[in-house]
Structure 1
């Protein structure tokens, strides 16, 4: 038995498909099969049922728990020894949504590589629902997720209170609120309930942010008007900028696209029950995961970046159209 065999066994247990696992690990099926056979010979018991389809035996389930523990402890030891020897080299498996990768992650990368030029990244795009299982199974080192108390299996370090804003063009307000537009703008610049703008068409997104907005409408018994529904946030911002619909944007997104915000765009803080509608982001990693110095430095840079984003003033009331 060796760590390599335990690693291959753990990976096969995730997909329960020899072909897919071998292809993903860039090894032959025969090599993968040999490692599994080696473990079964060592423990003297089958770890998988082969028919009707591949599945773990009771013994396999127990070995999997042991394998996962050995793999993470092995990685922790490597990172600890690397810190002790000051090698300052390694790999960070990092994931976040596309929007956060293109904003906060890309912003800190140059400074990080200046300090740790020998550390490389394996970067994947994923939303929170996909990210958490990857962190739990130690397939990722770090990720940026929407903060939640419902993930006790991972550590979360609060990164940013990513405030939510209603973005709506002056043209759209003229169209849907010709008589009350100015009073709505006066209220909106101070912070306003999203349900006060229920007549507007919205660019909705398949994400946690829109779920929060939809919940506000549901509580008020209002069916929001949907102009478009997609996973591509930049599209919504473009449609909003052109006056086709309103959209909801975060502090992080707007702070990184200040030059792209049209002058006729109103930006109103969204409130719920008198306070800014919360949307907290966190840096997350698996519990028990040893963080080498270079990972701690990356976290430090991300926290520094987030603190600058929070100070950007975004609320804006556009001038009336002439």
Structure 2
């Protein structure tokens, strides 16, 4: 039953015999015969055939067990490699798209200097999709934000708690606060009252993203509305639009160095200002997530430590990040 379990897991993933056979480099006939023999051995139907290939309840139970077998096999290989020399291997890291561009360049350089024989592979996707890949043994670690679903066989290690800031250019401040600019900047650095920005155009993350959820909840609590004229899923893109004086935006802590970098190329009178939001106390926790009970080689533990140190730098006081 457990021979070639990867065949069954590929069928469960693709829900298509032809696609699964192609990915496994076997014939359609071979894979069909494998499935029939497995169902005969179990004495149960593992897939519904029509209208599409779908796992039955028995198939789901078997798939969960086979994923656990796959995890044990992967762990065993890591342990043996660790016992052999501890200097070669692979770590598969999942990071959300925006953070990947900000976070990965510095991380991968530092990690390769520590473990030149270990391949660090990074994948980007929304956190929910990354967690699915983690559960399916296709990732080792996920760096992500909270989701509406807690998976109980995963370990959540909090590595930082981000603040949300208001980002606005000098040009927009001068346009919308003509009577108090530039003196208003000193006031806003102590905490910008979002109610004063109701006429200012904003670009913001799409609904459902954490930064958007934080600001939407805060606006509802304070009975305030703002004028959002553009939405996108890439925080660095939103900050670029703010740098072009198109609209104000918001930034979580990890993206502040990117704003600092943008400011190096902006002319005086168009630079970006980052203000704490008065009355906003909600934090955005960032987790390192891995499967409970999974063996972590020394090089994976070292990567976790490196990520923790890198994230600690993003929690410096605002004036030190900019």
**TM-score normalized by the length of structure 2:** 0.86
Q: Write out the 4+ residue segments of structure 1 that deviate beyond 6 Å after TM superposition.
A: none
Aligned to 2:198: 198
Query: 1:77-226, aligned counterparts within 5 Å?
Result: 77-147=76-146, 150-153=149-152, 154-181=154-181, 184-206=184-206, 207-226=209-228
Q: Distance in 1 between matches of 2:40 and 2:117?
A: 40
Are residues 36 and 316 of structure 1, via their aligned partners in 2, closer, same or farther at CA, if it must alter by over 3 Å?
closer
Residue 259 of structure 1, CA deviation: 3.0
Asked whether the equivalents of residues 189 and 315 of structure 1 are also in contact (C-alpha less than 8 Å), the reply is no
Q: Distance in 2 between matches of 1:95 and 1:26?
A: 26
Q: Does 1:270 align with 2:277?
A: yes
Structure 1 window deviating more from structure 2 (295-304 vs 175-184): it is 175-184
Structure 2: which 5+ residue stretches go unaligned? none
Query: 1:10-21, aligned counterparts within 5 Å?
Result: 10-21=9-20
Q: Distance in 2 between matches of 1:202 and 1:25?
A: 48
SS of alignment partner, residue 251 of structure 2: strand
RMSD: 2.6
Offset from partner CA, 1:262-321 (integer Å, 9 cap, x none):
453221023435x3x41121111122222221111111111111112222634899xxxx
Aligned to 2:251: 249
Asked whether the equivalents of residues 254 and 314 of structure 1 are also in contact (C-alpha less than 8 Å), the reply is no
**TM-score normalized by the length of structure 1:** 0.86
SS of alignment partner, residue 202 of structure 2: strand
Q: Distance in 1 between matches of 2:137 and 2:196?
A: 44
Asked whether the equivalents of residues 191 and 269 of structure 1 are also in contact (C-alpha less than 8 Å), the reply is yes
Q: Distance in 2 between matches of 1:287 and 1:227?
A: 43
Q: Distance in 1 between matches of 2:259 and 2:272?
A: 13
Are residues 103 and 45 of structure 1, via their aligned partners in 2, closer, same or farther at CA, if it must alter by over 3 Å?
same
Q: Distance in 1 between matches of 2:195 and 2:298?
A: 46
Structure 1 window deviating more from structure 2 (92-101 vs 191-200): it is 191-200
Q: Distance in 1 between matches of 2:104 and 2:31?
A: 35
Are residues 227 and 57 of structure 1, via their aligned partners in 2, closer, same or farther at CA, if it must alter by over 3 Å?
closer
Are residues 34 and 295 of structure 1, via their aligned partners in 2, closer, same or farther at CA, if it must alter by over 3 Å?
farther
Aligned to 2:297: 292
Asked whether the equivalents of residues 194 and 213 of structure 1 are also in contact (C-alpha less than 8 Å), the reply is no
Asked whether the equivalents of residues 156 and 289 of structure 2 are also in contact (C-alpha less than 8 Å), the reply is yes
Q: Distance in 1 between matches of 2:184 and 2:25?
A: 59
Are residues 33 and 297 of structure 1, via their aligned partners in 2, closer, same or farther at CA, if it must alter by over 3 Å?
farther
Aligned to 2:310: 305
Asked whether the equivalents of residues 257 and 321 of structure 2 are also in contact (C-alpha less than 8 Å), the reply is no
Are residues 26 and 140 of structure 1, via their aligned partners in 2, closer, same or farther at CA, if it must alter by over 3 Å?
farther
Aligned match for 1:234, one of 228, 233, 236: 236
Offset from partner CA, 1:136-165 (integer Å, 9 cap, x none):
333221111114685242211122222222
Asked whether the equivalents of residues 7 and 31 of structure 2 are also in contact (C-alpha less than 8 Å), the reply is yes
